[in-house]
């Protein structure tokens, strides 16, 4: 079976944010379990123009993002909770999947999607998790059973970028492992059919 390819997407405009650290950790777990990974974080995503479906013109970054999402066997999306929902930065990046609408497997069809939500309080994290889960369903993706919610009113990561406690580590590792489990089922199914 070929190596799973997992794309991480999210963060904030601030480099090294809690959301970015969470995505990096989850992808390290995936790599440790045999996946290839690619990460698109906030500072990268901040350079994406607003998605304009009527215009076929795309920046190099937008084309690379869509190409990597097409190739992905699984995706992990991380969003901060801004005013009780997904950030505009992350939503704009996800809107680029509209370029995949006519693909053989459109949008996130047949792909597992892990979700990480961070925020300064439980209400923001939970509502953001649900908002991203709804977007994933609209994009025909399979949201993993566990979504990680990190309340950042206390630091979720230490100075080295490692989870500050076992609960945070468990949530992020489980999201990565669930994405890989479903991604391997997808790969096996595709290889058997091919």
Task: Write the pLDDT tens digit of every residue in 26-50.
Answer: 999 999 999 999 999 988 899 999 9
- Predicted structure pTM score: 0.96
| pLDDT given for residue 194 in this prediction | 67
- What φ, ψ does residue 102 adopt, rounded to 5°? -100, 5
| pLDDT given for residue 80 in this prediction | 95
DSSP-assigned beta bridge partners for residue 39 = 8
Burial 134-154 (b: 16+ CB within 10 A, else e): ebbeebebbbbeebbbbbbee
| pLDDT given for residue 1 in this prediction | 76
User: CA nearest 135: which of 171, 175, 71, 88?
Assistant: 88
User: Are 45 and 12 within 8 A, CB to CB?
Assistant: no
Pair of tokens at residue 62: 């937008």
Q: What is the CATH number of the domain that holds 79?
A: 3.40.50.360
Task: Write the pLDDT tens digit of every residue in 146-179.
Answer: 999 999 988 899 989 899 999 999 999 999 999 9
Task: Write the pLDDT tens digit of every residue in 40-98.
Answer: 998 889 999 999 999 999 999 999 999 999 999 999 999 999 988 999 999 999 999 99
User: Are 116 and 10 within 8 A, CB to CB?
Assistant: yes
Residue 142: domain span: 5-193
- What φ, ψ does residue 189 adopt, rounded to 5°? -65, -45
* The total number of structural domains that make up the chain: 1
């Amino acid at each position: 079976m070929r190596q799973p390819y997992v794309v991480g997407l999210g963060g904030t405009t601030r480099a090294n944010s809690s959301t970015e650290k969470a995505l990096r950790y989850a992808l390290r777990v995936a790599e440790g379990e045999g996946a290839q990974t690619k990460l698109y974080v906030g500072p990268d995503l901040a350079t994406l123009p607003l998605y304009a479906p009527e215009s076929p013109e795309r920046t190099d970054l937008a084309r690379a993002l869509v190409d990597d999402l097409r190739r992905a066997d699984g995706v992990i999306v991380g969003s901060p909770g801004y005013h009780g929902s997904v950030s505009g930065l992350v939503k704009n990046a996800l809107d680029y999947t509209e370029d995949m609408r006519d693909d053989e497997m459109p949008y996130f069809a047949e792909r597992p999607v892990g979700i990480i939500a961070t925020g300064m309080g439980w209400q923001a994290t939970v509502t953001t998790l649900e908002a991203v889960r709804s977007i994933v369903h609209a994009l025909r993706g399979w949201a993993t059973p566990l979504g990680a919610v990190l309340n950042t009113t206390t630091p979720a990561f230490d100075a080295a970028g490692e989870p500050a406690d076992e609960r945070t580590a468990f949530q992020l590792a489980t999201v990565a492992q669930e994405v890989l489990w479903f991604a391997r089922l997808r790969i096996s199914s595709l290889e058997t059919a091919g």
